[in-house]
Amino acid sequence: MLPDAEPYSEPWLQGIVDALCDLSSKDALTGLVNRRSFEMALGREVDRVARSGEPALLLMLDIDHFKAVNDQHGHAAGDLVIRAVAQSIAQTVRPMDTVARIGGEEFAIILPNCPTSFGEVVAERIRQRVQALAISLGGGQSPLTCTISIGGAFAPQWVRSSTLIWTERADRQLYRAKAEGRNRACLESHVDSLVSAEEKGMLFAVTQQDSE
């Protein structure tokens, strides 16, 4: 939609620029950050963790049995569920956290500066908030409920990881949550002992470069 201001005026042009930025970085259905922006934010977070050593958590979330929602209630109802879950997740985390829709019924959250002891608490809080939703379909129909599965992994502190390794770790926990029965949060444990050989190699490469 074109801005309200006088065409070609400075506010009008700024409005166009803002709208284009939104279009390229936001998901149209939910208004959350889109996959492209999420990957950029994750890359920045990997760098920040390696520099500061602050703990950061990545959560991957997926609506359970979502295909059945579409099949039983139609695609429009499915869209309502996706929107309601997106809103609920966004309202449960801090403004500094990045909440993204990265696929059909898949979401991801980057939580910078998240103490390791807080990981389970925040994941569980999100799971419970979504479970408590009563999603109105209108037209006298009963409201829908849904559940999500959550997988989480902390970025290894003081080690330069990669977005791919971090995402794979969180994804592995999400698969575990699905396999163990869904509607649950599974987080990787013993963060320090889980630095992979590849990540150690990356740390060595950085140290070598720095000393040259």
Task: Write out the residues near ligand GTP by the rule CB under 6 A.
Answer: 29, 62-67, 70, 75, 78-79, 82, 104-105, 178, 182
CB of 80 to ligand GTP, least distance (A): 8
CB of 153 to ligand GTP, least distance (A): 19
Residue 144: CA count within 13 A, CB half-sphere: 25
CB of 60 to ligand GTP, least distance (A): 12
62/97 with CB nearer ligand GTP = 62
- In whole angstroms, give the CA distance from residue 46 to residue 158: 10
75/200 with CB nearer ligand GTP = 75
Encoding tokens for residue 117? Answer: 């002891």
Query: Could you write out the three-class secondary structure of 37-75?
Result: HHHHHHHHHHHHHHHHCCCCEEEEEEECCHHHHHHHHCH
- Catalytic-role residue among 45, 105, 106, 188: 105
45/62 with CB nearer ligand GTP = 62
50/81 with CB nearer ligand GTP = 81
Beta strand segments in 102-145, E: 106-111
Encoding tokens for residue 134? Answer: 């009563």
Q: Any catalytic annotation for residue 105? A: yes
Backbone dihedral region of 34: left (phi > 0), alpha (psi from -120 to 50 degrees) or beta?
Answer: beta
CB of 41 to ligand GTP, least distance (A): 21
Which residue of the chain is nearest ligand GTP when measured via CB? Answer: 104
Give catalytic residue positions: 105
